[in-house]
Amino acid sequence: MIEPCTLTAHELMRRLINKELSFAELLTSLKNRIRLFDNKINAYVRKNDVCSAASAAEISPSGLSIPVSLKDNICTKGNNTECCSKILAGFKPPYDATVVAKLKAHGLPIFEYKLNMDEFAFGSSTENSCFGPTRNPWDLERVAGGSSGGAAAAVASGEAIWALGSDTGGSIRQPASFCGVVGLKPTYGRVSRYGLIAFASSLDQIGPITKDVRDCAFLLKLISGYDPLDSTTKDIPVPDYTQSLDPWVKDIKIGIPKEYFVKGLDPEVKDIVEEAIEFLKKLGAKVKEVSLPHTEYAVAVYYIIATAEASSNLARFDGVQYGLRSLPKEGHSHEPRTVAMYKKTRGDGFGEEAKRRILLGTFALSHGYYDAYYLRALKVRTLIKKDFDRVFEEFDCIVTPTSPTVAFYIGERAQDPLSMYLSDVYTISANLAGIPAISLPCGFTKKGLPVGLQIISRPFNEELLLRVAFSYEDNTPWHTMQPYLKPPQEDFLGELRG
């Protein structure tokens, strides 16, 4: 029997409306799945925390009642939202993020557990979570990607119907690629950031992680739009993205950036992505090689801008108002008690990667270094943006691999920050340019690991992204593949006895 929780949201909506399935059955299926498998996968955090209120129970079920799971950096009123960081332990926001308010207004329940992530979204593997790494459902020895690794793993394993993640440099697309699901980073300003605990304010966007492109279009429609609480959102009408799900790419002009198919790209991933491009050609798309000459600077520029903004955004975690407060023992310090409290709280509360990024960012903004680092990075960011503008004068979209590799082993890159940073090399530019990009599954390696295809388009042209993605998906089987998960023996017996 197919578990309801492994189905797409649009299929579940159909069943709910036709009364083939009840909301209670759906919720039970989801919770059983989590009980069976999440001890291994670790997609959700604080599962035993009775404090996180079951908001799913509060709603009156309707055809739209498909629970949405949220990354641990999206605020929900009264529910713990901790960014998987010790420093935010116990933080219950007194308000809902705008995306949450929008979902609730449409009658969608918010799932009670939050999804695992790299601490403050700092990472590409979800290994930097204070709750331990999320495992990839396709191979439990491998990472789920990151930072929205919990979201991608949960959707891939049927532990979530769909989810919202956040993407600062690839944090939605790369884990979606590693876990064989669909992930979309909207145009900067398309979705409100109000209530998203900020990593890098000029790069962050909330976006959907779903089982297929149709679900992605549906969820994007619900969360998009101008928000008076976020001055960086744009007052541009939100189209009905589900209307763009037309499998028609004839004469769509696709650019393939040559700078993305170079050393560092796994040959197997390269072959699979090139095959996907060939397939798009067969569907009628016009494909041509293009150049994004400043691509090689993207990682450097990103890590200056993102860490600079992060160092500022994270300054507020000081033990004064909320979260962790560590007080040093009295007596042996010459400095004021508050300063000692800041140091101890931040020292105890932040993980290694958070500390590294705060230091990097603080340095980049320091007097005497600002011009050489931050200001120069801003200038190169403009050049990167212009690269895209130029290509989009002629082309409708750009197609690339989402990540240079498939999911790597847990621990493999943990000691080498640079190699970890390079796993974002194909996703970072879309954030720097503020443009939309989607990742969708386009095949599997010999070892059975999913590969993601990335499509990038011009600002506020999510419709085209979804159309090209849907055309591909509609003619390929990849999105229907689901990982086989062996139920743990003990739990299984426990189930029988219970």
Partner 1 sequence: MDYEIVIGLEVHIQLSTRTKVFCGCSTDFGKEPNTQVCPVCLGLPGVLPVLNQTALDYSIIVGLALNCTISEFSRFDRKHYYYPDLPKNYQISQYEYPLCQNGFLDININDQPKRIRIRRVHLEEDAGKLLHQESISLIDYNRTGMPLLEIVTEPDISSPDEAYEYLLLLKSIIKYLGVSDCDMEKGSLRCDANISVRRFGEKELGTKTELKNMNSFKAVKDALSYEANRQIDLLRQGLSVVQETRLWNPEQEITVAMRSKEEAKDYRYFPEPDLPPLYFKQEYIQKLKNRIPELPDKKYRRFLTEYNLRPMDAQVLVAERDDAEYAEQCLQRFKGKDRRIVINWLIGPLSSEANERKLRICQLNVSVEGFLNLLELIEQGRLSQLAAKQVLKEMINTGKGAQEIIKSRDLEQISDTTYLESVVAEVVASNPKTCQDYQQGKENALMFLVGQVMKKTKGKANPQLVQELLRNKLTN
Q: Which is nearer to partner 1, 7 or 45 (CB)?
A: 45
Question: Annotated catalytic residue: which of 55, 65, 71, 244?
Answer: 71
Instruction: Choose, from 65, 157, 171, 311, the residue flagged as catalytic.
Output: 171
Q: Count of residues binding partner 1 (CB under 8 A)? A: 45
Q: Which of 52, 147, 177, 311 is catalytic?
A: 147
Nearest approach, Cβ of residue 83 and partner 1 (Å): 8
**Catalytic (active site) residue 60:** no
- Cβ atoms within 10 A of the Cβ of 262, count? 12
Q: Which of residues 373-392 bind partner 1 (CB under 8 A)?
A: 374
Task: For residues 41 and 24, give the distance between their C-alpha atoms in angstroms, rounded to a whole number.
Answer: 24
Mark the segment that binds partner 1 (CB under 8 A) among 128-136, 141-149, 193-201, 352-360: 193-201
Told to check if 229 binds partner 1 by CB under 8 A, we report yes
* ∠ Cα 175 5 171 (to 5°): 15
Confirm whether 71 is a catalytic residue: yes
> If residue 493 lies in a helix (H) or strand (E), which one and from where to where?
helix 489-497
Please answer whether residues 316 and 85 qualify as being in contact, where contact means their C-beta atoms are separated by less than 8 angstroms.
no
Task: Give kind and range of the element (H or E) at residue 99.
Answer: helix 98-105
Residue 195 in the binding site for partner 1 (CB under 8 A): yes
Q: Where are the alpha helices (DSSP H) in 185-254?
A: 213-223
Does position 370 interact with partner 1 (CB under 8 A)? The reply is yes
Q: Which spans in 370-427 are helix H? A: 376-394, 417-422
Q: Shortest Cβ distance from residue 235 to partner 1 (Å)?
A: 12
320 touches partner 1 by CB under 8 A: yes
CA 366, CA 372: separation in Å to the nearest integer?
10
Residue choice 41, 66, 70, 75 for contact with partner 1 (CB under 8 A): 75
Q: Which of 14, 140, 226, 230 binds partner 1 (CB under 8 A)?
A: 230
Query: Left if phi > 0, otherwise alpha if psi is -120 to 50, otherwise beta: which for 107?
Result: left
Check binding of 322 to partner 1 (CB under 8 A): yes
Site string for partner 1, 402-431 (x = CB under 8 A): ------------------------------
Q: Which stretch binds partner 1 (CB under 8 A): 1-9, 59-67, 129-137, 227-235?
A: 227-235
Choice from 106, 258, 288, 316 touching partner 1 (CB under 8 A): 316
**Of the candidates 122, 342, 350, 395, which one interacts with partner 1 according to CB under 8 A?**
342
Count of C-beta atoms within a 10 Å radius of residue 386: 14
Q: Is 471 a catalytic residue?
A: no
Q: Which is nearer to partner 1, 301 or 451 (CB)?
A: 301
Question: CB of 403 within 8 A of CB of 428?
Answer: no
Strand ranges for 371-498 from DSSP E = 397-401, 437-444, 450-457
User: Does the protein bind partner 1 through residue 242 (CB under 8 A)?
Assistant: no
Judged by DSSP in three states, 15 sits in helix
Integer Cα distance of 169 and 40 in angstroms: 27
The whole-angstrom distance between residue 137's C-alpha and the CA centroid of its chain comes to 16
Asked if 121 is part of the footprint of partner 1 (rule: CB under 8 A), the reply reads no
Closest CA to 472 of 298, 230, 216: 216
Which residue matches tokens 């042996």?
Answer: 332
Give the integer Cα–Cα distance in Å for 399 and 381: 20
Told to check if 193 binds partner 1 by CB under 8 A, we report yes
What residues are annotated to the active site? 71, 147, 171
Binding residues for partner 1, rule: CB under 8 A, are: 73-75, 81, 83, 88, 91, 93-95, 97, 193-198, 200-202, 228-232, 308-309, 311-312, 315-318, 320-322, 338-339, 342, 362, 365-367, 370, 374
